Amino acid sequence: QEPLQFIIKSCGECHMAPQAYPPGFITKSEEMTLLELKKYKESILQRLSHSDSNSRMPPKFTPASKVLSDFPEKRVELINFIEKL
């Protein structure tokens, strides 16, 4: 589950805490993280696909943003992974 590992590693800094905003959808358990990702699926897909820099995830100037800019196929892979949840 390489896309899941990428999400945990790259998004965990902001999304691992149990808060409302930004939503804490990453947990210590991969199984629970998948359940949380399903809950936020539509929002995540919208943010991954959005071209507006204020709404797009990951935010500019983060390591994940750099990876997804350098390797656009990675963004497609993540979108496909989330869509299948």
Could you tell me the mean pLDDT of each successive run of 10 residues in the chain, 85 residues long? 87 84 88 94 89 74 86 92 95
Q: What is the pTM of this model?
A: 0.82
Q: Count of residues for the chain?
A: 85
